[in-house]
Amino acid sequence: MTKSDNVIKLLLIEDSEDKAEQIASDLRNGGIAVQLARVTSEPELIEHLRTRAPDLILANMDAANVTLAQASAVLKRSTKDSSLIAMSKTLDTQRMLLAVQSGAWAHLQLGQPELLQHLVRREANSLSTRRAVSQLEAGLHESERRCDALLDSSRDPIAYVHEGMHVRANQAYLEMFGFAEDEIEGMSILDLIAPADAESFKTALKRMDKSVKPTQTLDLKAVRTDGANFDAQIELSNANYEGEPCQQIIFRRQAASEEVAKQLEALRSRDTVTGLYNRQHCVAALERISTNSGAERGDHALLLIESDNFKQLTDTLGLDAADLLLSELAQLMQRHLGADDIAGRFGNQTLGMISSAGSLEKVNELSETLRKGCEERIFELGAKSVSLTISVGVSLITSKGTSATNVLARANDALRLAQSEGGNRVHVIDPAAQEKADAAESLQWRDKIKSALSNNDFQLHYQSVVSLQDAPGEYREMLLRMRGPEGEIKPAQFMPAAQRHGLLPTIDRWVITRSLMLLGERAFNSQEHTFFIKLSLATLEDESLVPWLTTQLEAKKIRAGALVFELPEQGAVTVLKNVLSFVRGIKKLGCKFALEGFAGSQTGLQLLKHTDADYLKLDRALMQDLPRNKDNESKIRSICAQLRDAHKLTIAEFVEDAASMSILFSCGVDFVQGNFLQEPELVMSEVMGA
């Protein structure tokens, strides 16, 4: 660690305060200065990482309330750059492997102060190096971005050439020769040189290859794409592009005037209708403000402004009047621009302002001033006069995880919310406040989920999966709901919080357990039943799941083939190793496997090949407006034919009408499912407590 940062901020996950103090004492005795903090539960760990940034985290693998895996997951979600070290009273090969698999950077046995001191010093030095590298990478990225921005914004036409071929050219260069950006890459530079000057140009390039002179200038005639020639002076110098040696070539028209250059620059960055900056210029400025550190963060906001009922006004007044209206709105905005503010046209009818107004209150005041200014004004559009209102969507630019794309998306969301509430209003999104509110809501949902697991407030519903090919037995999809004070709560409301707090595997086991108990009942044993059970990807990380399932099936004497476990295709491809391990395990037991969201893509077919899924649930998008969508019908028919040859069964979900049923039957779909056939029903059973 550096001299200015030589105190190690140490966080201990340790139940015993005495042990924590002993560890701190051992480190201090070794000459290591530490600032100690201790947590004993997952909520305490989350809160600590939310408000502080420890250098090292020492986690006792035997802690009662926080497993090493939980600690690693919380650390990863917090995005804090801290090293995690696992500690254990005993440390055999199995526990060392568990520590590594759980995400620990190192592991040690308690009661060995010298080893503790060595590991802490090593990890502290590693952390210091890592942070220094991160700063250097950020600096390099910023330098490259600035260089690229300078290249793009330069009025000089500049290109990079490798072995006589273009590898990069800026906008001024493309405009000089009349190219689109995707046309220039890979084109020979000689194609742009008049034949009479080609030999002298090649000679100059060869000299550059031999590094005879650092820079050379050459007068020649250049050729545009339309065949027109012009006199130019070129400047050649050796350079590097993306790590490869190349030549930088700057073209200058010998007769180009300064006034023409200024006009071209204005055309590149300005919108001709409003006189404001164009979207490209504004997004570049927004990216700079969003990514810069220090004072430029946290004191800016993006305002997006649209006229309410713009389309209706355009239809009534005509396109010319609509352009005049945008121009008038632009003038109104410009009257309220601060010295460092930027106004631009972000879309066909969307104007925007990057404001340095500062606080939330000042941004609100500015937005309301613009809104009232429009509301109280009569706009003169040639021979016509109109009154109008505007909606303003605002996103504050915060310091955490900010990018131009995110800021634009939030401002657009705020604008649509303002319009959906009737227009003529301002809606502000403050990401920092939203993050706090989301975190508080997430913790509330976590507590509700834990309470539901403890108090049996989860419910199983089922929906019939109907065979179109007269398959024997009954098929049902098991669906989860939660009891709430105002009725049932659907998974979309609580599952995101369950995922954030690592509760999905526990919920999945609850569903499996209740489904097995249900299959064990006499009513369900009277005929052959098959239950489809959705699993989360997080559950696949639990290596004890398949052994546990084996024990449950044997204890309850349940036919393994009665269970079909489902995974979404889109997520499964991202954790393929876990998926394959799980599928191999359940198929050894005799359980079946289904892929959900299958659309016949190359990725899906590869996943099918790897997993050998028994059932394929067709992508919901294929069901949309099926009676009138011949393309979807054709695709379903093709998928079914392909899967039939592979002896796979297909299921169409979200079937909502009889016409779709008829089409699916003719396509060869094996099963159908949807509210048209049966709404999800609560399982009435003794094992469910219903």
pLDDT at 459 over 60: yes
Task: Read off the tokens for 279.
Answer: 């979207």
Distance from C-alpha of 8 to C-alpha of 34, rounded to nearest angstrom: 5
CA distances (Å), origin 587, targets 469, 552, 591: 24, 15, 5
What confidence tens digit (pLDDT) does each residue in 520-529 have? 875 555 568 9
What confidence tens digit (pLDDT) does each residue in 228-269 have? 888 888 888 888 887 788 889 998 876 554 556 566 666 778
Distance from C-alpha of 354 to C-alpha of 370, rounded to nearest angstrom: 14
**Can you give the pLDDT at residue 383?**
76
Residue among 547, 545, 539, 458 nearest 505 (CA): 539
pLDDT at 137 over 80: no
Distance from C-alpha of 482 to C-alpha of 503, rounded to nearest angstrom: 14
What confidence tens digit (pLDDT) does each residue in 64-90 have? 888 988 888 888 888 788 889 999 888
Give every CB contact of residue 401 below 8 A, 6+ residues apart in sequence.
79
CATH architecture of 441-682: Alpha-Beta Barrel (3.20)
**Can you give the pLDDT at residue 211?**
55
**Given pLDDT bands bounded at 50, 70 and 90, which one contains residue 23?**
confident
Give every CB contact of residue 306 below 8 A, 6+ residues apart in sequence.
349, 350, 351, 390, 391, 415, 419
Give every CB contact of residue 651 below 8 A, 6+ residues apart in sequence.
465, 594, 615, 616, 617, 618, 669, 670, 671, 672, 673
> Domain limits of the chain?
3-134, 155-266, 296-429, 441-682
Distance from C-alpha of 674 to C-alpha of 671, rounded to nearest angstrom: 11
CB 269 within 8 A of CB 284: no
What confidence tens digit (pLDDT) does each residue in 366-379 have? 999 999 999 888 88
pLDDT at 613 over 90: yes
**Can you give the pLDDT at residue 295?**
41
**Given pLDDT bands bounded at 50, 70 and 90, which one contains residue 466?**
very high
Residue burial 153-165, b: 16+ Cβ < 10 Å; e: rest: eebebbbbbbeee
Q: Could you give the angle at which helices 113-153 and 279-291 cross, rounded to 10 degrees?
A: 160
**Can you give the pLDDT at residue 513?**
94
Residue among 674, 671, 683, 620 nearest 643 (CA): 671
CATH architecture of 3-134: 3-Layer(aba) Sandwich (3.40)
Mean pLDDT, to the nearest integer, of 533-561? 93
Give every CB contact of residue 159 below 8 A, 6+ residues apart in sequence.
166, 168, 169, 170, 173, 184, 189, 248, 249, 251
Parallel/antiparallel/unpaired status of strands 458-464 and 474-484 = antiparallel
Task: Work out the mean pLDDT of the chain and round it to a whole number.
Answer: 85
Q: Greater confidence, 151 or 412?
A: 412
- For the segment(s) 155-266, the CATH number from 3.30.450.20, 3.40.50.460, 3.40.50.300, 3.30.565.60 is 3.30.450.20
Q: Is 648 helix (H, G, I), strand (E, B) or coil?
A: coil
What confidence tens digit (pLDDT) does each residue in 39-66 have? 999 889 888 888 888 889 999 998 888 8
What confidence tens digit (pLDDT) does each residue in 649-673 have? 999 999 988 999 999 999 999 999 9
Mean pLDDT, to the nearest integer, of 129-158? 78
**Can you give the pLDDT at residue 297?**
43
Which helix (H) or strand (E) is 75 found in, with range?
helix 68-78
CA distances (Å), origin 620, targets 465, 601, 647: 15, 14, 22
**Given pLDDT bands bounded at 50, 70 and 90, which one contains residue 516?**
very high
Q: Which of 210-214, 541-545, 653-657 has the lowest mean pLDDT?
A: 210-214
Q: Which of 77-91, 184-198, 541-555, 609-623 has the lowest mean pLDDT?
A: 77-91
Residue among 646, 645, 676 nearest 660 (CA): 676
* Record: fold of 296-429: Alpha-Beta Plaits (3.30.70)
pLDDT at 4 over 50: no
**Given pLDDT bands bounded at 50, 70 and 90, which one contains residue 685?**
low
**Can you give the pLDDT at residue 540?**
93
Distance from C-alpha of 569 to C-alpha of 617, rounded to nearest angstrom: 10
CB 112 within 8 A of CB 87: no
Distance from C-alpha of 80 to C-alpha of 71, rounded to nearest angstrom: 12
pLDDT at 405 over 90: no
pLDDT at 2 over 70: no
Q: In this structure, is the dihedral angle defined by the CA atoms of residues 660, 661, 662 and 665, taken in order, positive or negative?
A: positive
What confidence tens digit (pLDDT) does each residue in 275-314 have? 899 998 898 888 888 776 444 445 789 999 999 888 777 7
**Can you give the pLDDT at residue 296?**
42
Distance from C-alpha of 160 to C-alpha of 168, rounded to nearest angstrom: 5
Distance from C-alpha of 383 to C-alpha of 317, rounded to nearest angstrom: 10
Q: Is 46 helix (H, G, I), strand (E, B) or coil?
A: helix
Give every CB contact of residue 452 below 8 A, 6+ residues apart in sequence.
458, 482, 483
CA distances (Å), origin 201, targets 157, 222, 233: 17, 11, 11
Mean pLDDT, to the nearest integer, of 310-336? 85
CA distances (Å), origin 323, targets 172, 235, 377, 423, 563: 28, 43, 17, 21, 63
What confidence tens digit (pLDDT) does each residue in 620-648 have? 889 988 999 898 999 999 999 999 989 99
